[in-house]
Amino acid sequence: MSKGKGSANPSASLSSLWGYLLPALNHIVRSPTNLTEKAPVIDISYHMGIHTATYNYFTMQVETVTTNKERERLTPSGTDLYEHIDKYYAEVARELLLGAPEDDSSLIQYIVPCFNRYAAGAHSVNRLLNYVNRHYVKRAVDEDRGWLTLSDIFDAVAKAIQDGDTKEKITNKLKERRTEELKKWGWDEGGTSEQLARAESCAEAASSLDRVVSLSALALRRFRTEFMEPLLAVPKLKGNKRRKPGAHNGNTPNLPKGRLARAVRELLEKQDVGVEERKRLVIELASTMRVTGVRDGHPLRKRLDKYLLTGTV
């Protein structure tokens, strides 16, 4: 894809910059492709133009603020662009959900390539707009607005703090708490930097929408909130309907299930799917749930993990 048309100065305003970026985002994230693991590319000159325009936009925002008091009063530069990107991913994820088949039996076969294509585009955009990560996201994390804040861990850490603890000891306890959180997403102390990055990406994707995370995790989080969670949602019992016999003591066949839970049950139980194909789909779906921030305590994640571990339903 070649350079998009737009304002003579795409960094002049948010609307100008967004108009310049949007064709590239749509090409990378939305364009049909036979290679779901790889996003379509844009022309190198367009790529460089986007990098320059983004850099200039941030620089111009900073230059227009002349005093420290103004900086404190105004929204941090880059917030508007970051929020536009977040809304963009929310819109894309909702579109993908609308395209899901109504038949539960083919739902997982739709989700797997759909997510792979979406994730490939998100990772490509993350590289394209990495200046947003370096300028805006990093600063937000430094200002305690990231996926894990001091308030999240203060209560647990405060209980472990003793009178006379030095600042260094308190800092180490905060690091230990952060490590505990990352272990929930597959990180082991002594692991590689790549494993640490994957665990932190999962933790970011699992965070609430008010937390500032990297652009790749931002996309994954929106896939969870706009695509996965509606499929995981359990429909409410209407009126005064009561549970049928057998729907207690952990035995819940008569309780309503979400669409994805029904699709998983059908995949695991139907006989017309080969063992290897079933295993592949389960692995892919389990990975999708994990990387988009669905926590390991979720019943459906437990069921998938049990199948992969034991081979039984």
Location of structure tokens 């931002």: 218
Mark whether 168 and 127 lie in a shared domain: no
Q: Where residue 239 falls among pLDDT bands split at 50, 70, 90?
A: low
Report d(CA 20, CA 23) in Å as an integer.
Answer: 7
Domain count, the chain: 3
Task: Indicate if 171 and 127 belong to the same structural domain.
Answer: no
Residues 268, 183 share a domain: no
Question: What is the reported pLDDT for 69?
Answer: 53
Same domain, 82 and 112: yes
Question: What value does the mean pLDDT of the chain take?
Answer: 87
**Residue 213 in domain:** no
Residue type, 121: G
- Confidence (pLDDT) at 294: 98
Domain annotation covers residue 230:
no
Domain limit, last residue, from 124, 142, 160: 142
- Asked if the structure places residue 2 within a domain, the reply is no
Q: Identify whether 224 is part of a domain.
A: no
Say yes or no: 263 and 192 in one domain. Answer: no
Domain end among 142, 166, 190: 142
Domain span at 183: 150-205
What pLDDT was estimated at residue 176?
A: 84
Q: 229, 244 in Cβ contact below 8 A?
A: no
Q: Tell me whether residue 295 is in a domain.
A: yes
The answer to whether the pTM exceeds 0.95 is: no
Is 280 inside a domain boundary?
Answer: yes
Question: Where residue 62 falls among pLDDT bands split at 50, 70, 90?
Answer: low
Residues 299 and 269 in one domain: yes
The verdict on 57 and 116 lying in the same domain is yes
9 domain residue, yes or no: no
pLDDT in tens, 164-217: 666 777 677 778 888 998 999 999 988 899 999 999 999 999 999 999 999 999
Instruction: Decide if 281 is inside a domain.
Output: yes
- Any idea how long the chain is? 313
User: Which range has the top average pLDDT, 76-80, 189-193, 230-234?
Assistant: 230-234
CB distance 157 to 179 below 8 Å? no
pLDDT at 249 (0 to 100): 38
Q: Give the integer Cα–Cα distance in Å for 161 and 138.
A: 28
Q: Does residue 133 share a domain with residue 35?
A: yes
Domain CATH for 25: 1.20.1310
- Cα separations (Å) of 262 from 65, 90, 256? 54, 25, 9
- Give a three-class secondary structure readout of the chain: CCCCCCCCCCCCCHHHHHHHHHHHHHHHHHCCCCCCCCCCCCCHHHHHHHHHHHHHHHHHHHHCCCCHHHHHHCCCCCHHHHHHHHHHHHHHHHHHHHCCCCCHHHHHHHHHHHHHHHHHHHHHHHHHCHHHHHHHHHHHHHCCCCCCCHHHHHHHHHHHCCCCCCHHHHHHHHHHHHHHHHHCCCCCCCCCHHHHHHHHHHHHHCCCCCCCCCHHHHHHHHHHHHHHHHHHCCCCCCCCCCCCCCCCCCCCCCCCCCHHHHHHHHHHHCCCCCHHHHHHHHHHHHHHHHHCCCCCCCHHHHHHHHHHHHCCC
* Domain co-membership, 125 together with 201: no
The torsion defined by the Cα of 174, 175, 181 and 186, in degrees rounded to 10, comes to -170
List, for residues 22-51, the tens digit of each pLDDT value: 999 999 999 998 888 899 999 999 999 999
Shared domain for 117 and 19, answered yes or no, is: yes
CA 211 to chain centre: 12
Give yes or no for residue 162 having a pLDDT over 70: no
* Whether 179 and 272 share a structural domain: no
**Are 115 and 179 contained in the same domain?**
no
